């Protein structure tokens, strides 16, 4: 069982920066903390072995403490409410589209749509939804509580207008639940009035929370989280004068909530519920919230939204001068558990730079952060053709859902998770972690597979620096400008516009690009403009685990259209020469050299190599070709001067084409029956003396260390990197080759 876990406030630091570590020891026992440099995170004894190096002078003994995670999104209004305006009565209305209407909330007390309550005494008012009762209203006073319920359940994914009025003069509490669209044979609208001779027990501490209720547990601890969309809440006095009127269509790309009322009861979101959501009046004529924000006046709240665990720091470290750029971690060890909190140290400005930079694909790490696919997805075993094997971290996450999930998972109400964050423990972004996704053998996926590349760079004694996707997104071309050669990792699947622009600009200026993976530069993501470490994804047009609802394909963070880069007009083929074609997870195979490999333009690639077979060995699935595969296609942007140096073969029928590669399903599309699903190693020269080399396979990195690094995969990769860091320009061929297509 996991008892020790944590996260850092930063993912990338340099000399002089301070990085803070936030840790929870679930047994409250003391632990030892040390900074280590991660060289190889793979525990597989068939490989080169796990390797980490301690940084001298970094040893702490820390008294452990338990820190809780509190998921669930809502809106907080901190401004004082003019309670005297409500003494003679009030009315409250909201538009609601529930996504778990059958639920009465985690504590059975209801899912709260709007509350104005004293967090200590609990006195005040709230409206919400409670299973078969449908909408309810509650008035809590010192002498008791009055509840009025519609008595008819709401339908899932349907819009309702809920209105509650308290008339003290008549001692009446009235609730109306009205469906905006009726359904024949279903009675889901009602108007109920009950006697109410009490007044809310308000104190100046009372505050408004939308989509939850405040508790006595603290300023950031709530209960009664609502699941679904809310729109246009309005609080008025007995005469109908507005006290608060909140418009969610304003400031969609931020966290602030605007109140049109006279008392400026503005709010802010907590745990980042989904914005840029279609409202009750969306008519299908627009697809972007920027074109008609008034049709996107809804926010989708979830009881399991989590962006920031909000833990306190337990220890911090200021990066001293002279440390090598690389992947580091705070290693935590107690009597019962161990954890590593990873981060990158960049080379300090003004201290020179290596000719080669390795980009750690932290955007892709966030996309898979704390994923629950094998446990939650019914078809996981069929897709991967083997029984998933779960480690301690997987079991912990399955039991402890409060730590959030990945961008492949769904919320408890079935909607797709669109926002991920590193401001929480991410237990599958760790050295030593073995993933069920990574095929047979080492079972590596994402960061741990990328440590095979770091291990190889160390063995080959290349001078290299490491940066992260966040660095690239924040700095753009400036982050790449010092380097002659850029190296991509095993699975850089998720990239932002700024990242892709930087890679294109670097290449246009004569930069060289080496891609040592597969399914690269595939999905568009957007980083939050103000909160580092928070990322948004909209899976539109093509789903993977889920797909966006109609009209919700544009990111809230800036408004960019989401989905596959291929569908946005920038397929990976244009940048890398190849793009994703298919995947399989049972076993990996090898590449066979193709006629293009004899072209004098690529003689340097094959120096010292013998035979036609490349990579019929490896720690990931037993070969260098597998897991997810990319191949060339000039119809999608592969440059016409591209050479296909090698092509994979021997895949089983568990390797199938990607959904975006299919226009129609039919039998016989497995790799053993069809030539479509193949990985291709490609090379092409670019303007200004640059060049690109792509392996087209996630499994490539697992073959680098085979036979003491003396093998065809290692030799080919080394030949390419040495030539790519050589300043001698590449020459464009006099004539373009024939189109590469299938």
Residues 271, 381, single domain; the answer is: no
The residue from 253, 286, 301 where one domain ends is 301
Question: Residue 712: left if φ>0, alpha if ψ -120 to 50, beta else—which one?
Answer: alpha
653: buried, middle or exposed (CB in 10 Å: 19+, 13-18, 0-12)? middle
Do 262 and 380 fall into the same domain? no
pLDDT tens profile 528-561: 999 999 999 999 988 888 999 999 999 999 999 9
Of residues 7, 42, 11, the one with CA closest to residue 451: 42
Co-location of 252 and 390 in the same domain: no
Domain presence at residue 436 = yes
435 with 536, same domain?
Answer: yes
**Are residues 509 and 648 both part of a single domain?**
yes
Q: Are 184 and 104 in contact (CB under 8 A)?
A: no
Q: Considering the domain boundaries, does residue 394 fall inside one?
A: yes
pLDDT tens for 148-189 read 999 999 999 999 999 999 998 899 999 999 999 988 888 899
Q: Strand, coil or helix: what is 396?
A: helix
Per-residue confidence (pLDDT) for residue 187, from 0 to 100: 85
DSSP state of 622: T
Query: Is position 183 within any domain?
Result: yes
Q: CA-CA-CA-CA torsion for 147, 149, 153, 157, nearest 10 degrees? A: -80
User: Do residues 302 and 412 lie in contact, with contact meaning Cβ atoms separated by under 8 Å?
Assistant: yes
Task: State whether 283 and 375 are in the same domain.
Answer: no
**What share of the chain has pLDDT > 90, as a percent?**
81
Question: By residue range, what is the domain housing residue 606?
Answer: 362-725
Token pair of 134, please? 């449908």
Give the CA distances from residue 31 to residues 330, 331, 335, in Å, rounded to whole numbers and listed in that order: 12, 10, 7
* 217-243 confidence digits (pLDDT tens): 777 889 999 999 999 999 999 999 999
Residue 3 lies in a domain: no
Same domain (yes/no): 405, 510:
yes
Contact indicator for 428, 371 with CB cutoff of 8 Å: yes
pLDDT of 737 above 70: no
Q: Nearest CA to 701 among 446, 467, 391? A: 446
Among residues 706, 723, 43, 7, the alpha carbon closest in space to that of 433 is found at 43
Determine, yes or no, domain membership for 311.
Answer: no
Last residue of a domain, one of 301, 324, 343: 301
Q: Are residues 280 and 377 in the same domain?
A: no
What CATH number is attached to the domain comprising 699?
A: 3.40.50.880
d(CA 573, CA 677): 16
Tokens found for residue 703:
């073959």
Q: For residue 121, give the CATH number of its domain.
A: 2.60.120.200
Is residue 64 one of the residues assigned to a domain? no
| pLDDT tens, position by position, 482-518 | 999 999 999 999 999 999 999 999 999 999 999 999 9
CA distances from residue 91 to 87, 402, 487 in whole angstroms, order as listed: 12, 35, 61
pLDDT of 738 = 65
| Contact criterion met (CB below 8 Å) for 502 and 363 | no
Domain's final residue, options 301, 323, 339? 301
Q: For residue range 251-280, what is the model confidence (pLDDT) as tens digits?
A: 999 999 999 999 999 999 999 999 999 999
Element (H, E) at 83: none
The band of 448, judged by pLDDT with boundaries at 50, 70 and 90, is very high
Residue-level length of the chain: 742
Contacts 24+ apart (CB under 8 A), 39-42: 39/326, 39/451, 39/454, 39/455, 39/458, 40/451, 40/452, 40/454, 40/455, 41/430, 41/431, 41/432, 41/433, 41/444, 41/447, 41/448, 41/451, 42/442, 42/444, 42/448, 42/451, 42/452, 42/455, 42/619
Quick one: which of 367, 289, 294 has its CA closest to 556? 289
How far apart, in whole angstroms, are the C-alpha atoms of residue 678 and residue 696?
Answer: 9
Question: Is 17 part of any domain?
Answer: no
Are 248 and 381 in the same domain? Answer: no
Residues 296 and 373 in one domain: no
Buried/exposed code over 684-711 (b: 16+ C-beta within 10 A; e: otherwise) = bbbeebbbbbbbbbbbbbbbbbbeebeb
Specify if 229 maps to a domain. yes
Task: Say how many domains are in the chain.
Answer: 2
Mark whether 478 and 588 lie in a shared domain: yes
pTM of the model: 0.96
Instruction: Judge residue 636's burial from the number of C-beta atoms within 10 Å of its C-beta, 0-12 exposed, 13-18 middle, 19 or more buried.
Output: middle
- Same domain for 598 and 519: yes
CA distance 127 to 94: 9
């Amino acid at each position: 069982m996991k008892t020790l876990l944590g996260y850092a406030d930063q993912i990338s630091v340099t000399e002089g920066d301070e990085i803070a570590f936030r840790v929870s020891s679930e047994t409250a026992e003391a632990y030892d903390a040390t900074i280590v440099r991660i060289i190889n995170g793979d525990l597989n004894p068939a490989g080169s072995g796990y390797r980490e190096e301690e940084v001298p002078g970094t040893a702490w003994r820390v008294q452990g403490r338990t820190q809780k995670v509190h998921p669930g999104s809502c809106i907080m209004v901190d401004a004082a409410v003019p309670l005297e305006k409500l003494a003679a009565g009030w009315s409250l209305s909201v538009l609601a589209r529930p996504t778990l209407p059958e639920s009465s909330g985690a504590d059975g007390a209801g899912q709260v749509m709007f509350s104005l309550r004293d967090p200590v005494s609990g006195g005040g008012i709230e409206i919400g939804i409670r299973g078969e009762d449908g909408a309810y209203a509650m008035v809590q006073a010192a002498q008791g509580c009055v509840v009025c319920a519609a008595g008819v359940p709401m339908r899932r994914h349907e819009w309702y207008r809920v209105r509650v009025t308290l008339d003290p003069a008549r001692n009446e509490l009235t609730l109306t639940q009205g469906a905006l669209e009726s359904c024949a044979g279903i009675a889901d609208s009602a108007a109920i009035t009950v006697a109410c001779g009490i007044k809310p027990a308000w104190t100046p501490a009372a505050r408004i929370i939308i989509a939850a209720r405040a508790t006595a547990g603290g300023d950031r601890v709530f209960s009664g989280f609502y699941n679904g969309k809310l729109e246009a809440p309005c609080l008025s006095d007995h005469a109908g004068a507005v006290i608060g009127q909140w418009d969610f269509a304003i400031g969609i790309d931020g966290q602030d909530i605007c109140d049109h009322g006279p008392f400026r009861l503005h709010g802010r979101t907590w745990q980042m519920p989904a914005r840029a959501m279609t409202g009750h009046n969306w008519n299908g004529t627009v697809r972007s919230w920027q074109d008609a924000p008034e049709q996107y006046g809804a926010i989708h709240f979830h009881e399991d939204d989590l962006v920031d665990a909000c833990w306190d720091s337990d220890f911090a470290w200021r990066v001293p001068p002279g440390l090598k750029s690389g992947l580091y971690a705070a290693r935590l060890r107690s009597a019962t558990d161990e954890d590593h909190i990873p981060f990158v140290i960049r080379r300090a400005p003004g201290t020179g730079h290596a000719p080669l930079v390795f980009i750690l694909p932290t955007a892709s790490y966030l996309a898979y952060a704390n994923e629950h696919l094998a446990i939650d997805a019914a078809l996981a075993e069929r897709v991967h053709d083997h029984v998933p094997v779960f480690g301690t971290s997987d079991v912990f996450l399955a039991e402890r859902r409060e730590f959030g999930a990945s961008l492949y998972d769904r919320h408890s109400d079935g909607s797709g998770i669109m926002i991920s964050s590193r401001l929480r423990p991410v237990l599958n972004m760790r050295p030593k972690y073995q993933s069920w996704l990574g095929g047979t053998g080492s079972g590596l996926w994402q960061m741990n597979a990328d440590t095979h590349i770091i291990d190889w760079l160390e063995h080959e004694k290349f001078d290299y620096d490491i940066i992260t996707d966040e660095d690239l997104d924040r700095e753009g071309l400036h982050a790449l400008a010092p380097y002659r050669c850029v190296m991509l990792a095993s699975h850089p699947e998720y990239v932002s516009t700024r990242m892709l622009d930087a890679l294109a600009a670097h290449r246009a200026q004569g930069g060289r690009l080496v891609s040592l993976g597969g399914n690269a530069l595939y999905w568009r993501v957007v980083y939050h403009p103000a909160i580092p470490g928070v990322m948004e994804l909209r899976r539109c047009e093509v789903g993977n685990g889920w797909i966006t609802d109609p009209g919700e394909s544009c990111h809230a963070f800036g408004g960019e259209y989401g989905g596959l880069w291929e569908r946005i007009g920038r397929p990976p083929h244009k940048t890398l020469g190849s793009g994703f074609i298919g995947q399989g997870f049972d076993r990996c195979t090898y590449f066979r050299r193709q006629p293009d490999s004899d072209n004098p333009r690529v003689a340097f690639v094959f120096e010292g190599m013998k035979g036609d077979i490349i990579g019929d060995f490896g720690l990931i699935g037993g070969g260098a070709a597998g897991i997810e595969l990319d191949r060339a296609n000039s119809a999608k942007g592969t440059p016409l001067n591209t050479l296909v140096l090698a092509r994979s073969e021997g895949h089983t029928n568990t390797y199938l084409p990607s959904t975006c590669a299919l226009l129609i399903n039919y039998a016989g599309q497995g790799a053993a029956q069809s030539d479509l699903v193949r990985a291709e190693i490609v090379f092409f020269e670019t303007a200004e003396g640059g060049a690109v080399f792509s392996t087209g396979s996630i499994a490539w990195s697992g073959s680098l260390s085979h036979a003491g690094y003396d093998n065809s995969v290692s030799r080919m990769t080394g030949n390419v990197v040495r030539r790519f860091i050589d300043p001698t320009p590449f020459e464009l061929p006099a004539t373009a080759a024939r189109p590469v297509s299938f």
